[in-house]
Chains A and B, each alone.
Chain A
Amino acid sequence: MLRFFTRRGISMVFVLFSLTFLTFMIGHLAPGDPILVLMGPRQDTETYAHLRHLYGLDQPLLTQYINYVALLVRGDFGLSFSYEGRTVRELIAQGLPISFGVGGLALLVSLIVGVPLGMFAALRDGTLADRGLVALALGLYSIPSFVLIPLIWMANLAIFRAGYPNLPQAGWGTPSHIVLPVLVLAAANVGYITQLTRASMLEVLRDDYVRTARAKGLLERTVIVRHVLRNALLPLITLLGPTTAFLVTGAFVVEVLFNIPGIGRIAVEAVGRRDYPVIQGTTVILGIAVVIMNLISDLLYHVFDPRIQLTE
């Protein structure tokens, strides 16, 4: 166990280090210039040079990177280029809980809806209900959020115009503001989880021990809950890491269109403005989140199926 954590710890450090390096280099080498974005269309060579110096952008790239990492290991993410006097840490601290709250709720909703749907479909394999559910899941999975959101807006606006109580179209601050974003984020995930649960159930249903359990004369419900479901849900744990990344990338669009002050919208805006410290900071934080979720999913895997060793 200790060996596992040591190994994973080392590999985590390596992954995060590579992440900072790649993000830094890709960001700085991508065309565009944060100072030009700040100055807008007005050009003034002298002011430009002064600002570049002030922001440390006139130093060699490698020096800039070393300075950045030196601060980073002390937990200092630097100052935002585009938001006057605000630290990256402050921006992340503001956005992260919001994004994780929305993303976490979306994950919960998609599990609560997706798992029973997948089970239901698997148990009625081949029927009309099964095919309908499979089609629905596929549809939900493939519809991009920037198409789904306008559709939801149209429906919500129609409700408002008809004089019924409606949900806020966008914004943040009250519980009612959370509903639409969570629905949109959960929608695609529901499709995915339904499919996965169904496939996994079908596989387990064909296993010998299920036949044995039935042959023992166990109640069908006991067979499904004790033998099938426990084993069929194991692959869902693997999903935890990728789903985190999925929810975060999905949040880019959802947070922008629904006006949610989360980390996804901060990252999108930072990319547009070439706000390097914010781009790097948000990427590192999201990278850490994905790495941690993967670690948790590995541990859970071990807990649910002790045959799987952690020494890998």
Chain B
Amino acid sequence: MRSTIGVLGLLAVLMLAACGTPAGGPATSATAAPAATTALAPATAMPSPVGGNAPADTLRWSLEGVSDLSSIDPAKPGDAPTITAINLIFAGLIRLDEKLEVQPDGASGWQVSADGTTYSFTIRDGLAFADGTPVTAGDFVYAINRALAPETASYGAPFQLGHIIGAQDVVDGKAKQASGVRAVDDKTLEIKLDGPLAYFLSQLSYPFTFVVPKKLVDSGVKWEEQSYGTGPYRVKEWKHGQALTLIANEKYWRGKPGIPNITLVFNKDSETAYQLYQTGELDIMGSQQNPVPAAHIAELQSLPDFKSAASLATRFIGFNNLKPPFDNVDVRRAFALAVDKKALSDQVLAGQVVAADRILPAGLLGTQLPISGLALDPAAAKAALAQAGFADGKGLPEITLAYGQEGDNETVAQAIQSMWEQNLGVKVKLQSFELATFSKNLDTTFKTPAQGLQFWLSIWGADYPDPQNFLSQQLHSDTANNNGHFADPQFDKLVDEADRLGDRAQIERRLQLYNQAEQIAIDKVGWLPLYYPKFNILLRPRVSGLAVTPNGLVAPDWTKVTLK
């Protein structure tokens, strides 16, 4: 009998955790923001310790939110920590610099055909894997086909590389090689697309096409444990559940990296990382996804370690366009016009974010062209609601805003809820979901809109810095990311054309088109953008040569990153 009780106790814990009850039991508090992050009151503002025990040859870099990396296979970049690790070990043809512009990496140069569909990359002279094996165009052919192959089970490569001719055949298992990817000779890689694609080079900076040594991948299941590529570092030891230790790649094409070793330390909880930083055991903590805990910011702001930057992400409210009441554009407008974004960013979130009046986050290509956003206007909001046939909210069905349990979501949802009640006279219910449940609900909304959510608080961050990644990929009527089924023929037409304007000379026109499309998405409220999050990190002054960009920490040149 007693054993049954013990076992049932265990089960109860599991159920609690699985259902994600907002009660905040120990299991849930560990997965969501733990109570610990707020429970700690800073004693006094102290200068960061110089860290007498800090190893002179090792950069200690904390990756938060995970207790281990799910993978370091470039074909499977899952979350942000995975991508950080992959970018240190592997590299591709193209990289993004600290201004988020494309720069040659494994390719020393490239040429695009007049029709914009054929790219010829020249493989850099002397490019070699960390084990010394020279890299040829054939290695890239292998890596791209491998990322597409069904047995690789990549989460995103088939989608992102879908415009390469023949890619779909490999995805479907009909071919081993995409016909559009060819090694003309050892030094020349040719990629053919099904049409001009303005953001293609930008996409190549994302891990999917990074070159991986076939010899290593074929060597066995555990190849990741000693993986190497053409990046500045290679794996020395992967202590699962603790840290990934990297050593400098002596064969790196730019020269020997300035820091001999990097230890990527996994910290499931950001508060833990903060404690380790404070006691001198870390050199870097915080990222866009898991910034320095908000409770400590006041204490840290004056330190040279504290770095803050706007991230290339937009927090927004999405609407189910196929379910009442948000199938009506006037209702969407009414809700948009009743939100005071300035108060939200400056007061509710204490200036830790930047209020958004457009979909594209500040700093992204295309934001130099202005957009007229929907500012707070309670009278117009009420008029729009009346126009929709719900004067003073009469006749509206019960409305529920859904959000995932992370970060400031609860605070934000509550603030907007009260704005709607105050400015629009509509009472909105809130429903929070544990993250995996939230993503399942979005999926249901996409697949069966009638049973889906009405509207939800969500966030989108750039995979690569291009307007296409936000507009076409989120709001085009036939993209699978368009959970709410926003559909506007004019919008589709504009982004379709813009996506295909690959020529550098056409950039002006391309951005114009995106700008018009974005204005439509604002006016018809495809999204209701709320704010662009800032992210805060701690970077010890002894580290020099790293740049804090909207895309996270970027090393313009690893050979010049050093430790004092």
Contact = CB atoms under 8 A, between A and B. Distances in A.
Contacts of A245: 6, 9-10
A83 B439 contact: no
B260 to A, nearest CB: 21
Contacts of B267: 170, 259
A149 interface: yes
Contacts of A32: 18, 434, 436-437, 439-440
A26 interface: yes
Nearest to B153: A54
Interface string B170-189: 01000000000000000000
A82 interface: yes
A256 B443 contact: no
Given A94-B241, A244-B6, A146 B34 contact: yes
Given A15-B4, A33-B440, A242-B2, A257 B158 contact: no
B18 A30 contact: yes
B242 A173 contact: yes
B46 interface: yes
B269 A257 contact: yes
Contacts of A198: none
A171 B276 contact: yes
Q: How large is the interface on B (under 10, 10 to 19, 20 to 34, 35 or more residues)?
A: 35 or more
B6 A271 contact: no
B150 interface: yes
B166 to A, nearest CB: 16
B272 interface: yes
Interface string B245-289: 000000000000000000000111101100110111100000000
A187 to B, nearest CB: 15
Contacts of B272: 169-170, 256-259
Contacts of A47: 154-156, 158-159, 171
A51 interface: yes
Given A37-B436, A40-B79, A261 B446 contact: no
A144 interface: yes
A42 B441 contact: no
A287 to B, nearest CB: 5
B241 A19 contact: no
Interface string B385-409: 0000000000000000000000000
Nearest to A19: B7
Contacts of A161: 46, 49
A23 B11 contact: yes
A55 to B, nearest CB: 9
Given A26-B18, A40-B155, A261-B67, A290 B3 contact: yes
A22 interface: yes
A271 B242 CA distance: 19
B39 interface: yes
A283 B14 contact: yes
A283 B439 contact: no
Interface stretch (A107-115, A116-124, A247-255): A247-255
B54 interface: no
A84 B73 contact: yes
B440 A294 contact: no
- The CB with the most chain A CB atoms within 10 A, among B6, B35, B79, B156, is that of B6
A308 interface: no
- The CB with the most chain A CB atoms within 10 A, among B18, B40, B221, is that of B18
Interface stretch (B25-33, B325-333, B518-526, B534-542): B25-33
A160 B35 CA distance: 24
Contacts of B155: 38-40, 42, 47, 51
Contacts of B463: 42
B175 to A, nearest CB: 16
Interface in B432-483: 433-437, 439-441, 443, 446, 458, 460, 463, 480-481, 483
Given A12-B3, A33-B443, A44 B158 contact: yes
Contacts of B10: 19, 245, 248-249, 283, 286-287, 290
A261 B240 contact: yes
Contacts of B222: 85
Nearest to A290: B6
Interface in A1-59: 11-12, 15, 18-19, 22-23, 26-27, 30-34, 36-47, 50-51, 54
B48 to A, nearest CB: 11
Given A252-B27, A253-B26, A268-B17, A26 B3 contact: no
B510 interface: no
Interface string A178-215: 00000000000000000000000000000000000000
B294 to A, nearest CB: 15
Interface string B151-169: 0011110110000000000
B78 to A, nearest CB: 6
A273 B481 CA distance: 20
A172 to B, nearest CB: 6
Contacts of A101: none
A238 B6 CA distance: 12
B26 A266 contact: no
A150 interface: yes
Interface stretch (A62-70, A133-141, A151-159, A223-231): A151-159
Nearest to A8: B3
B71 A249 contact: no
A54 B434 CA distance: 26
Given A32-B434, A45-B480, A271-B27, A169 B39 contact: no
A47 B279 CA distance: 44
B53 to A, nearest CB: 11
A44 B70 contact: no
Contacts of A23: 11, 14
A120 to B, nearest CB: 29
B76 interface: yes
A47 B156 CA distance: 8
Nearest to A14: B4
A37 B26 contact: no
A291 interface: yes
Nearest to B463: A42
Contacts of B158: 44, 46-47, 50
B36 interface: yes
- The CB with the most chain A CB atoms within 10 A, among B3, B269, B280, is that of B3
Contacts of B171: 46-47, 50
Given A38-B155, A146-B35, A268 B30 contact: yes
B79 to A, nearest CB: 7
B242 A153 contact: no
A168 interface: yes
Given A39-B156, A258-B272, 13 more contacts: A32-B436, A47-B171, A85-B222, A144-B26, A157-B43, A158-B43, A169-B279, A170-B272, A171-B281, A241-B3, A257-B34, A259-B266, A269-B268
13 contacts: A15-B7, A31-B433, A32-B440, A154-B40, A161-B49, A168-B276, A249-B10, A257-B36, A259-B266, A271-B14, A279-B14, A291-B3, A295-B3
The 8 closest A-B pairs by CB, nearest first: A261-B241, A32-B436, A84-B71, A44-B159, A169-B275, A30-B18, A290-B6, A43-B480
